[in-house]
Amino acid sequence: MLTIAIFLPTLAALVIALTPRSRPDLPRAIALVFSLVVLALAAIMFVSLDRGFQGFQFTNHVTWVRTSLGGFSFQYYVGLDGISAALVLLTAFLNVVAVLVSWGIALRPKEYFIWLLVIESGVLGVFSSLDLLLFFLFWEVELVPMYLLISIWGSGRKEYSATKFVLYTVAGSSFMIVGILALGFTAHTFEIPEIMRNGVREAAIPLGFIFFALFSGFAVKLPMFPLHTWLPDAHTDAPTAVSVILAGALLKMGGYGIIRLCVGLLPQTAHDWGLAITLLGAIGVVYGALVTLRQTDLKRLIAYSSVSHMGFVLIGVGALGQLGLTGATVQMVTHGLVTGMLFVMVGLVYERTHTRQIPELGGLARQMPWIAAAFVVAGVASLGLPMLAGFVGEVVVFLGAFSKYAATTIVAVSGVVLAAGYILWMLQRVFFGPPKEQWAHLGDARHWSEWLAMGAMTASIVAVGIYPQWIIDAIDHGVVPIASRLG
C-alpha cells in the first residue's frame, strides 16, 4: 500500500503527459483525483498504524540492484513508523490543497501538474525510505521539478531565486551523500533499521565528520540559520502552490532527516552536539522573528517567519529527549499546516490585488470578509494561540527543552512574543484600518476550489489544535525507539 501511495503521483504524472494539448482542463482534474486517492491511502495507513507494535510497518523490501561484489546492493526498502506516517499524511494533504489552489493555472498546465506530482512522489519517498541510498535517491527527485516550477511559473526575480535554491540544495546534498556513503561503509549496511539495531562504532572516519556531513545537508533544507537565505527568495518568487509544498512538505525533509539519520543513527554524536544545535535553533528563532518584523512583502514575511518556526524544531531536537523530539515533529506538522495555509491565503489575496506589498494593502476585510477571517485563523495559529495547531508544537518543544537548556529556551520564547507582534501587525495593516479606494471592486472567495482549500486547511488546524493527541500518539510511536537510544 505504501509503495502504491508513493508511486501513484508518478503514475498520475504519466497519465497527464498523455492527455491531449487541446484539453487544458484535464490535467488538474486528474491531479486532483490522484492526490485525493493518495490522501485516502495515507489516512488509512495513519489510522491503521499499529501503535502497540514497535518498528516499521507497511514495509516493502526488494533487492533492486545486486552488484554481487562486496555484498553491496541497492535496496528498495520502505516502511512507516509514527513520525513518517504523520509526515506522509501531511504531504498528501498539502498536495491536495496545492492542486486546489493551482486550479486557475493557465500557463502550460500540463507540465505544471506533472512537476507538482513528481515532487509529491519524491517527498513521500523520502519520508518512507528505510535504506540510506533510496533515501538519497528520493531526496534528489524534487530538485529539478522545483527549479522549473519556480523559474517558469514564478514571479519577480524567479530565475535568480530558482538558481539560488538549486545551488544551496545541491551544496547541501553533496555533503549529505558523502555522509551517507561514509556511514554506510562504516556500518557495513545501508539499511536504517539495521544500523539502528547495531549502532555504529568508531571506524576509519570520525563519526563527528559523518554527523556533520549529514547535518549540513539537512540544515540547508530545514533551513537553519545561517543557511537560510535561499528560503525567502524561493518562497517569494514561487507560485502559491509551490510555496505551500515548499514550506509544508519540503522543509520537513530537513527536520525529518535530522531526527531519523543524525539523531536516530548517531545518537552518541548527537549528544555531543546537542547544545550547539539548540543554540543555533534559538538564534534562528529570534533572528528570524526580528527580520520578519521588518518585511513589507507578505510572502517574504511568512518565509522569514518559517525560519523562525523551524528554529523551534532544532531546539526540540537539541534537547535530545523524548519530549523534545516529539515536540520537534509536532512542530513540523503544525508548521506545515499553518504556514501552508498562510501561503494559500496570501495567494488568494494576491490573485485579487496583484500586489503583496503590505503598505499598498489595507482594509481588505470589508471586501473579502471570509478570506480575512481565514487569514486571521491562520495568523493566530502561527503566533501560537491555544486551541489552534501552532500552539501544540511550540509548547511541547518548550516542555522538552526547558529542563535541559533553561536559559536558551527562555530566550527562544521571546520569539513567540515577536511572532505575536509581526502577525498581528501584518493582519492589522492588510485587513483592517481604513479601506482604500482602489480595492473597492474586489470580491470574496468565489470558486469552489478556493472554498475547499480554505475550509480544509482551517479544519485541520482546528482539529490538531483542539485534540492534538491523535497526532502526538502516532508520533510518539516513532520517537520512542529513537529516544530510548539516547539514554
Partner 1 sequence: MNHYEVLAPELVLLGLAFALVTLELLFPQLRKDLVAYLTAASAIGVLVASAFFANRSDSFKDLIQLDNYTTFFRILFLGTAALLAIASAHLVRDKLSNAGEYYGLLLLGVIGATYMAAASELLTAYIALELLNFTLYVLVSFDRKDPRSGEAGLKYILLSAFASALLLFGISFIFGVTGTTSYAGIRHALEAGIGEYRGTLVVGLVLLLTGLGFKVAAVPFHMWTPDAYEGAPLPVTAYISIVAKAAGFALFLRLFSQAFMPVISDWRWMVALLAALTMVFGNLIALQQVNIKRLLAYSSISQVGYMLIAIAALSHDSATALLLHLGGYAITNLAAFIAIIAFYNATGGEEIRDFRGLAERHAGLAMTLTIALFSLAGMPLFAGFMTKFILFQAAAQHGLLWLSAFGVVTSMISLYYYLMVIRQMYVLKPRDGDGRLRVPLLTSAVLVVLALGIFFVGIWPTPLFRAAASATRLLF
Residue with cell 485516502: 40
Closest approach of partner 1 to the CB of residue 52, in Å: 36
**Is position 444 an interface residue for partner 1 (rule: CB under 8 A)?**
no
Return the number of the residue (213 or 361) whose C-beta is nearest partner 1: 213
Instruction: Pick the binder of partner 1 from 15, 37, 144, 480 (CB under 8 A).
Output: 144
Return the number of the residue (66 or 294) whose C-beta is nearest partner 1: 66
**Is position 182 an interface residue for partner 1 (rule: CB under 8 A)?**
yes
**Is position 177 an interface residue for partner 1 (rule: CB under 8 A)?**
yes
Closest approach of partner 1 to the CB of residue 62, in Å: 12
Return the number of the residue (72 or 350) whose C-beta is nearest partner 1: 72
The angle at the Cα of 270, spanning 273 to 137, to the nearest 5 degrees, equals 120
**Is position 72 an interface residue for partner 1 (rule: CB under 8 A)?**
yes
Residues 27-66 vs partner 1: string with x where CB under 8 A?
A: -------------------------------------xxx
**Is position 203 an interface residue for partner 1 (rule: CB under 8 A)?**
no
CA distances from 463 to 281, 334, 387, 466, 467 (A): 27, 11, 9, 5, 6
Footprint (CB under 8 A) of partner 1, residues 367-426: none
Closest approach of partner 1 to the CB of residue 151, in Å: 5
Return the number of the residue (70 or 359) whose C-beta is nearest partner 1: 70
Footprint (CB under 8 A) of partner 1, residues 218-277: none
**Is position 166 an interface residue for partner 1 (rule: CB under 8 A)?**
yes
Applying CB under 8 A, what is the total number of residues that bind partner 1? 35
Q: What is the dihedral of CA 149, 150, 151, 155, to 10 degrees?
A: 120
Of 31-39, 144-152, 311-319, 356-364: span binding partner 1 (CB under 8 A): 144-152
Return the number of the residue (14 or 276) whose C-beta is nearest partner 1: 14
CA distances from 314 to 254, 264, 285, 296, 445 (A): 10, 15, 9, 27, 37
Q: What's the rounded Cα separation, in Å, for the pair 208 and 187?
A: 14
**Is position 67 an interface residue for partner 1 (rule: CB under 8 A)?**
yes
Residue 80, beta-bridge partner list: 57
Q: What's the rounded Cα separation, in Å, for the pair 76 and 58?
A: 13
Closest listed residue to residue 235, CA positions, set 336, 148, 162: 162
Grid cell of 27 as nine digits: 490535467
Interface residues with partner 1 (CB under 8 A) are 64-70, 72, 133, 136-138, 140-141, 143-144, 147-148, 151-152, 159, 163, 166-167, 170-171, 173-174, 177-178, 181-182, 185, 204-205
